[in-house]
C-alpha cells in the first residue's frame, strides 16, 4: 500500500500537468489531427461492417435491418462529429471539411457541398 501523503507519483504528476499546460497550445493542432484520424478510421470500420451486413443480407436474404440501421446511425453520427471537427480546424488553416450528408471532401470555404448541395455552414 503506497503512502499517499508522500507518493512521489503525485509530485511527478504535477510536473507533468504544468508541462502539459504549457505545451497544450502547441499540441492543439496535433491533437485535432490525431482525433480526426481516429474518427476517420472508426468511420471506415463502420463502413466495412455496413458493407458486410448488406452483403450478408443480399446473399442470405436475411436482412438484419436492426444492425444495418444501427451502423448507418453510427456512420451519420461520426460524419457529423468529423464535420464539426474539420470545420473548426479548416476555418483556422483553410483546410477541408467532409460533407456530413454525402461524405465528399470539400474546401472549408465552401458554403454548399458541390457533391450533393447540402449546406456546409
Ligand atoms: Zn455532400
54 alpha carbon – ligand 1 mean position (Å): 23
Whether residue 72 is predicted with pLDDT greater than 90 in this model: the reply is yes
76 alpha carbon – ligand 1 mean position (Å): 13
Q: What is the pLDDT of residues 85-110, one digit of tens each?
A: 777 665 555 677 888 899 888 887 88
Report pTM.
0.53
What is residue 36's predicted lDDT score, i.e. its pLDDT? 80
Q: What is the pLDDT of residues 4-60, one digit of tens each?
A: 566 767 766 776 666 655 555 555 566 677 888 888 899 999 999 999 999 988 888
E-state strands within the chain: 96-98, 105-107
Percentage of residues in the chain having pLDDT higher than 70: 67
30 alpha carbon – ligand 1 mean position (Å): 26
If one compares 77 and 37, the residue with the highest pLDDT of the two is 77
Percentage of residues in the chain having pLDDT higher than 90: 25
- Report the distance separating Cα 71 and Cα 79, nearest Å: 12
Amino acid at each position: 500500500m503506497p503512502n499517499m501523503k508522500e507518493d512521489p507519483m503525485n509530485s511527478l504528476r504535477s510536473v507533468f500537468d504544468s508541462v502539459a499546460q504549457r505545451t497544450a497550445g502547441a499540441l492543439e493542432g496535433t491533437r485535432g489531427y490525431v482525433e480526426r484520424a481516429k474518427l476517420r478510421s472508426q468511420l471506415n470500420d463502420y463502413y466495412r461492417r455496413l458493407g458486410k451486413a448488406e452483403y450478408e443480407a443480399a446473399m442470405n436474404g436475411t436482412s438484419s435491418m436492426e444492425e444495418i440501421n444501427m451502423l448507418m446511425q453510427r456512420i451519420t453520427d461520426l460524419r457529423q462529429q468529423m464535420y464539426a471537427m474539420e470545420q473548426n480546424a479548416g476555418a483556422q488553416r483553410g483546410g477541408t471539411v467532409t460533407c456530413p450528408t454525402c461524405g465528399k471532401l470539400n474546401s472549408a470555404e465552401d458554403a454548399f457541398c458541390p457533391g450533393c448541395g447540402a449546406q456546409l455552414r
